[in-house]
Amino acid sequence: MAQKLDYFKESPSQTAGPYVHIGCLPNMCEIGGVYDDDLGATMLSDATKGERITITGTTYDGTGTALKDAMVEIWQADADGIYPGGRDPRGPGDPNFPGWGRKVGDYTTGEWTFETIKPGAVPFPDGRMQAPHITFWVVARGINVGLQTRMYFPEDDTAADPILSRIEHQNRVPTLIAEKTGEGQYRFDISLQGDGETIFFDF
């Protein structure tokens, strides 16, 4: 006998919310008892090596409106340019740095903030060194597949970076360069569409 199809009501059709926030950030959604702290909320401890930095940004849609439901994750190397948990021949990396963080935009302003360390340079597969950078992954309403981009630092020489040098439209490279707003303070806004659209990667 076939199972009746009206046993459960169909969930509302959503691309990346609200269920992604409930599952990934239960404490932010005021659901206690799942994790002591949401996964990825804290990247630093007193024992973490490296220069402390703060990255603040907002994700904007094609009309320039701040997305208040965007979830942003970052992945980066430690201060020595080693990814935690990897197989880098230089060593295992800083055991006190996870290299990964997750934040959601403020429900009023859409702004998110990461407290982390400035990463070191990472070798490209062919041996060339990449400029220090942080990888960003973004999901929000209307996004079916997470978008991946990078943030570079304005004080570093990025001209020879093996990724940036391959971008055909070099006039768009500035969308990947953060703005330094103070000592150890950076601003990196992400534009999904329109003028100043951030470069996204498919790797």
Domains of the chain: 39-191 (2.60.130.10)
pLDDT in tens, 54-69: 999 999 999 999 998 8
pTM of the model: 0.88
How far apart CA 176 and CA 200 sit, in angstroms, is 9
User: Tokens 């498919």 label which residue?
Assistant: 202
The enclosing H or E element of 20 equals helix 19-24
Least confident stretch, 4-18, 56-70, 180-194: 4-18
Structure confidence by residue, pLDDT tens digits, 78-130:
999 999 887 788 888 999 999 999 998 888 999 999 999 999 999 999 999 99
Q: How many CA atoms lie within 13 A of 198 on its CB side?
A: 26
